[in-house]
Amino acid sequence: MAAYLSRLHHISLHVTNVDKIAYELVSKFKFNLFVARLTEKSKQLAFRKGAAVFVVNERPNMSPLELNGVTLSTERGISPSESEPGWTNNIQPGENNDKDPNCLYDVHPHYPVDTASNVCFEVEDVERSFKSLRNLGCDFLVPPTEVCDDKGLVTYSVVKSILGNVNHTLVDTSKYKGSFLPGFQEVENVAKSTESCPITHFDHITYACPRRCTPQVMSWYERHFGFQRFFIDSNEDVDEGYVLNKEGIGLRLTAMEYWKCSETGIELPFTDKKQPDCKFVIAESLPEQGRNQVDTFLEQHRGPGIQHIGLYTQDIVSTAQTMGQAGVHFFSPPPAYYTEVGKQQEMEDAGYDPQMLSRHGILLDTDLRQAQTDPSCQTTDTQKKRYLLQVFTKPIFSEDTFFLELIERRGASGFGEGNIQALWRSVQAYMDTERAETEAQGENITPEPKHCHNA
């Protein structure tokens, strides 16, 4: 039996320079630092915006020499070739948080680059989830462990996923009254107004995955966490996923979602508790169209993992404007995107000023499927259409191993093909420039495409 998840609790980032990412999240992305765990050996800071919580962990800065000495742990997962230098999947044998509380509610990934590597879920019963997942053959990095302070007790456990360095902490906070987790101290903070940046939750998490590995990743999440397939497009092939394979874009997208089964959980802007919240998108690059941003991620991240996270906002224009003014760098599609006759009309029909969208690099896509079953469906033509607005940030870590996205959904639940194409072109142009610069410095490394093994 699978472990059923109540809700997404937080996402963990592991970075060498916590202060830099803290600055980015607070000053630029308008998150609130609300709790911290600072010990001699560790620095863990938690940032919140609506229901979206990031825990930023200080990552030991290891030299390539040290990294090569770490035992590989790749028995089951999808990871790059073992011969690749600098690769390590996770903790060293024998190390776990019982003995090494440096990184509470997670493990030190001993990973060579900054990475977003843990998606923590709230579950109703950690012990039961642990037993069922272990019976299904999962590797646990931390067995069920209790942590308490004067506000109560939580139980957690950390399970290794099938994909690269991605782990999942499972936590039960039902017996805890504090504002986050035991061991974290509240930080004196003036709660900032959310008016100009109304981010409410994580909309989706996108994995970059090696070629032909999507089915294994899908079935792992179905089998272990009860995830279900989410069809991005009505014409999407069950086996092939949503394929974009033309004009230089070679991408296979497959999405999945989980269903909340608990009465607990933060109120999200869904009235029906059976609604899924955060989706998981698996992105795989297709070889025919040449190198692309998924390949770049796999190379720079030294393996598969979390490529980006979509933050849901109720007002993308004001959010992008505020963040842009604070110094967030967004990708902008080629200017022609906003002046195409059809596009301009589409934006105006949706009630947006194309120049305003252009100023912030915001992409708009119309979902051509009509609202059939949605009871909130309005009557006029304009309101019947479903829109999706997105804007993508430039990498926020020092290497191209993670970025954020703002997304506003006006009825559309998928991922716009038009938006992905526009994004792709802008990212491609950025990558080409970066690559040219790297080549000029004589540091160009082009590894073989990565394949999965040992499923």
Ligand X SMILES: O=C(O)C(=O)Cc1ccc(O)cc1
Q: Residue positions in the annotated binding site?
A: 204, 308, 405
**Interface segment toward Fe ion; rule CB under 5 A; list 57-65, 229-237, 298-306, 402-410:** 402-410
Question: Are the beta carbons of 117 and 166 closer than 8 angstroms?
Answer: yes
Residue type, 37: R
Q: Using CA of residue 283, residue 319, residue 365, residue 10, what is the dihedral sign?
A: positive
Give, as ranges, the residues between 73 and 132 that touch ligand X (CB under 6 A).
none
Q: Which residue numbers belong to the known binding site for Fe cation? A: 204, 308, 405
Residue nearest to ligand X (CB): 283
Instruction: Provide the token pair at 193.
Output: 């107004």
Instruction: Provide the token pair at 29.
Output: 């992305």
**Interface segment toward Fe ion; rule CB under 5 A; list 176-184, 202-210, 240-248, 288-296:** 202-210
In whole angstroms, how close is the CB of 149 to Fe ion at the nearest point? 36
Which residue, 4 or 330, has its beta carbon nearer to Fe ion?
Answer: 330
Which residues, including other chains, have CB under 8 Å from residue 220's CB and lie 6 or more apart? Answer: 161, 162, 163
Under DSSP, the state recorded for 78 is B
Which residue, 24 or 405, has its beta carbon nearer to Fe ion?
Answer: 405
> Of these, 293, 313, 366, 393, which contacts ligand X (CB under 6 A)?
293
Give, as ranges, the residues between 415 and 434 that touch ligand X (CB under 6 A).
415, 419-420, 423
> Within 10 A of 88 (CB to CB), how many other CB atoms are there?
24
Of ligand X, Fe ion, none, which one sits near residue 45, judging by CB under 5 to 8 A according to partner kind?
Answer: none
In whole angstroms, how close is the CB of 85 to ligand X at the nearest point? 25
Give, as ranges, the residues between 40 and 79 that touch ligand X (CB under 6 A).
none
Nearest to 119 by CA among 276, 35, 12, 47: 12
In whole angstroms, how close is the CB of 294 to ligand X at the nearest point? 5
Question: Are the beta carbons of 118 and 166 closer than 8 angstroms?
Answer: yes
Q: Does 401 bind ligand X (CB under 6 A)?
A: no
In whole angstroms, how close is the CB of 450 to ligand X at the nearest point? 15
Nearest to 165 by CA among 59, 22, 6, 260: 59
Is residue 159 classed exposed, middle or buried when 0-12, 13-18 and 19+ CB atoms within 10 A define those classes?
buried
Q: Does 312 bind ligand X (CB under 6 A)?
A: no
| Length, in residues, of the chain | 455
Of ligand X, Fe ion, none, which one sits near residue 294, judging by CB under 5 to 8 A according to partner kind?
Answer: ligand X
Which residue, 154 or 232, has its beta carbon nearer to ligand X?
Answer: 232
Instruction: Provide the token pair at 444.
Output: 């160009």
In whole angstroms, how close is the CB of 419 to ligand X at the nearest point? 6
Spatial separation of the C-alpha atoms in residues 157 and 151, rounded to whole Å: 20
Numbers of helices and strands, H then E, in the chain: 11, 18
Which residues is 330 bridged to in the sheet? 393
> Of these, 182, 310, 354, 395, which contacts ligand X (CB under 6 A)?
310
Instruction: Provide the token pair at 157.
Output: 């456990």
Q: Does 236 bind Fe ion (CB under 5 A)?
A: no
> Of these, 120, 159, 217, 283, which contacts ligand X (CB under 6 A)?
283
Spatial separation of the C-alpha atoms in residues 384 and 371, rounded to whole Å: 6
Spatial separation of the C-alpha atoms in residues 122 and 155, rounded to whole Å: 10
Q: Per-residue contact track with ligand X, 196 to 235, x per CB under 6 A? A: ----------x-----------------------------
Spatial separation of the C-alpha atoms in residues 70 and 91, rounded to whole Å: 8
Q: Does 331 bind ligand X (CB under 6 A)?
A: no
Question: ∠ CA 434-313-222 to the nearest 5 degrees?
Answer: 80
Which residue, 207 or 338, has its beta carbon nearer to Fe ion?
Answer: 207
Count residues near ligand X (CB under 6 A). Answer: 13
Give, as ranges, the residues between 300 and 339 that touch Fe ion (CB under 5 A).
310
Residues of the shown chain interacting with ligand X in the complex, contacts defined by CB under 6 A: 206, 253, 281, 283, 293-294, 310, 390, 405, 415, 419-420, 423
Where do contacts with Fe ion occur on this chain (CB under 5 A)?
Answer: 206, 310, 405
